């Protein structure tokens, strides 16, 4: 697939990246290649191509070899996502956790099993590190302590910004500087390349649970790492060896999802900014977390019973995951971060009163009507709380997402 010679805006790349060769083939929609294997009448040449892949992880020239090594439809999505993130390459996997596991395995294979990480992270990412399931050892620290936590066997520094579920933000450029020569992995699932591109701030690896905003419709499970080609080659080797491949149909859906990513993120962000403003002024809400970068995610703590709020929504769907066109709400302490130790969870700001809202594309007035009804009377479950103004400590940044990509 061709690489454009001139720089294109993010909205243009979202529509055209990974599709640049279609018109010359007489096609408009990308084809879906469902083959698991491909014919070859040159067994010696095939052997040489497989040997080359085993050495570098670079995709073989010529026709595909085997579905576990690579797939043309998935490759289109990888090309497009790399363009949007501003990296040389991207490697897609069957889920976000499969993608993260592959990164750990790459570094671990070099004897670099130590990871420095900053909480909060997505609950399963936290668990994967803490439990040492892949032989890794983790040191948890705050951003200011990263440099001091590095060791000779440190293979990776991992951060998430905005973080799941508190939406805490990190200065990625400062963190990348503190990492020195150790690769920085930034989970960019919440922000997407529409709001930030971590590679521009020094991150070598950019992780996405592509299940979320990249797919955008709650119908595809996937993960992807955007990175330089050298690291991509190692990731492809791990993917081939472990089998964590992305199905071609999922690759097609993700490529289709990218075309509307900027429009969806900006529209949902405008809804979220307005809801954050209203929640911050509501006496039933103790605190609102909304990132300065904007985005479609809100976290808020209630005075009353958060489980009752979950039970009482009608338009909004109480469900795990995020980033879909419809609005979802969940209680992180019970679900997404249940697997994290209680003390660690609370130290990271994930209180038992916290709710996480993934704002979709519905009309904002309909969403507010549902939230307002679910919050109930101002005194429900809150004792004698009677606030006439936003509660102390509430934070809300009310500007919608920027109209152009950073």
Residues with catalytic annotation? 68, 122, 187, 212
Give the DSSP H/E element, type plus range, for residue 233: helix 229-242
Residue found by looking up tokens 């720089």 in the block: 7
Query: 224 pairs with which residues across the strands?
Result: 92, 208
Tokens of 369: 């009507």
Tokens of 216: 């955008």
The 10 Å Cβ neighbour count of residue 47 is: 11
Cβ-count burial 250-275 (b if 16+ within 10 Å, e if not)? bbbbbbbbbbbbbebbbbbbbbbbbb
**E strands, 38-128, where?**
89-93, 114-118
Using CB atoms within 10 A of its CB, is residue 303 exposed (0-12), middle (13-18) or buried (19+)?
A: buried
- What whole-number distance in Å separates Cα of residue 247 and Cα of residue 189? 20
Cis amide leading into 165 (omega within 30): yes
- What whole-number distance in Å separates Cα of residue 147 and Cα of residue 221? 35
The 10 Å Cβ neighbour count of residue 353 is: 17
- 3-class secondary-structure state, position 367: helix
CB contact set of 274 (below 8 Å; sequence gap of 6+): 364, 368, 398, 400
The CA-to-CA distance between both ends of the chain, in Å, stands at: 26
Name the DSSP letter for residue 342: H
- What whole-number distance in Å separates Cα of residue 169 and Cα of residue 184? 15
Residue found by looking up tokens 């307005």 in the block: 274
């Amino acid at each position: 697939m061709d690489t454009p010679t001139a720089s294109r805006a993010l909205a243009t790349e979202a529509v055209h990246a990974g599709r640049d060769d279609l018109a010359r083939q007489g096609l408009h929609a990308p084809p879906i290649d469902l083959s698991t294997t491909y014919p070859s009448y040159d067994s010696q040449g095939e052997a040489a191509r497989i040997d080359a892949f085993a050495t570098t992880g670079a995709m073989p020239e010529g026709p595909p070899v085997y579905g576990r090594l690579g797939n043309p439809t998935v490759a289109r999505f990888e090309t497009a996502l790399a363009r949007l993130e501003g990296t040389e390459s991207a490697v897609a996997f069957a889920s976000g956790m499969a993608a993260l596991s592959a990164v750990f395995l790459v570094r671990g294979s070099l004897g670099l099993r130590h990871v420095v990480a900053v909480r909060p992270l997505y609950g399963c990412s936290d668990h994967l590190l803490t439990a040492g399931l892949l032989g890794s050892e983790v040191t948890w620290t705050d951003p200011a302590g990263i440099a001091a936590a590095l060791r000779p066997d440190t293979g990776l520094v991992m951060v998430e910004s905005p973080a799941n579920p508190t939406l805490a933000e990190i200065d990625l450029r400062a963190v990348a500087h503190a990492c020195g020569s150790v690769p920085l992995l930034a989970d960019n699932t919440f922000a997407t390349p529409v709001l930030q591109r971590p590679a521009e701030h020094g991150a070598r690896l950019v992780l996405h649970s592509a299940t979320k905003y990249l797919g955008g419709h709650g119908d595809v499970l996937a993960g992807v790492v955007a990175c330089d080609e050298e690291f991509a080659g190692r990731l492809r080797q791990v993917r081939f060896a472990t089998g964590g491949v992305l199905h071609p149909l999922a690759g097609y859906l993700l490529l289709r999802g990218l075309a509307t990513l900027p429009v969806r993120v900006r529209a949902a962000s405008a809804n979220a900014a307005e809801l954050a403003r209203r929640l911050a002024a509501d006496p039933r809400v103790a605190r609102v977390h909304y990132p300065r970068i904007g985005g479609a995610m809100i976290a808020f703590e209630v005075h009353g019973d958060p489980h009752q709020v979950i039970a009482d929504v009608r338009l909004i769907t109480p469900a795990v995951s995020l980033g879909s066109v419809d609005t979802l709400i969940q209680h992180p302490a019970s679900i997404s971060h249940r697997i994290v130790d209680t003390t660690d969870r609370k130290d990271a700001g994930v209180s038992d009163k916290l709710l996480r809202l993934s704002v979709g594309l519905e009309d904002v007035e309909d969403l507010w009507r549902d939230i307002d009804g679910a919050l109930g009377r101002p005194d429900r479950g809150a004792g004698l709380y009677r606030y006439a103004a936003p509660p102390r400590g509430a934070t809300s940044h009310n500007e919608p997402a920027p109209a152009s990509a950073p």
